[in-house]
Amino acid sequence: MPKKPEQISFFERCYEVVLRIPYGRVTTYGAIAKYLGAVRSARMVGWAMNSSHDRDIPAHRVVNRVGLLTGKHHFDGIHLMKQLLENEGHRFDGDRMLNFKNVFWEPFDV
DNA sequence: TGGTTGACGTGGT
DNA sequence: GACCACGCCAACC
């Protein structure tokens, strides 16, 4: 539910970064917040994802710092987020990614 | 205008 | 590695 599409908000910033995440890679809310210059606003990044439903944002590629799928409940299906990531070749221990460190991607890495 | 909310992070145990 | 308590701050109501 975009309120003011013409106004560039903190959310819009987050979307741009998420769209830059390469296929098969993931990042964290904190990393995005850090890239935006608001390290302490990591929670806002997650909230931004909540409004990313309308857009085509790969929000499933954004997890918390330990690779936990904390936002799976906000997808259509609780297992949708996990399935999308598995489709990209990731493996899980429950809701936690196993090779998280290997596939982690920072916005600074181009 | 002001208090509440959170898909988080860090530091301590 | 885990668990807990506290701090952050833009957006929402």
User: Over the stretch A24-45, which tens digit does the pLDDT of each residue have?
Assistant: 999 999 999 999 988 888 999 9
**For chain A, which ranges sit under pLDDT 50?**
1-6
Q: CA of A84 vs C1' of C12, distance in Å?
A: 30
Domains, chain A, in order of start with CATH, read 10-103 (1.10.10.10)
pLDDT (0 to 100) of residue A63: 97
60-99 on A, CB < 7 Å from strand B: 60, 62, 64-66, 70-72, 74-75, 81
- What distance in Å separates the CA atoms of residue A33 and residue A44, rounded to the nearest whole number? 8
Collapse the DSSP code of A104 into the 3-class scheme (helix H, G, I; strand E, B; otherwise coil) and give the result: strand
Nucleotide nearest to A12 (CA to C1'): C10
Alpha helices in A1-110 (DSSP H): 10-19, 29-35, 42-50, 80-87, 100-103
Q: What is the pTM of this model?
A: 0.90
* Residue closest to A59 by CA, chosen among A2, A110, A18: A18
pLDDT (0 to 100) of residue A7: 54
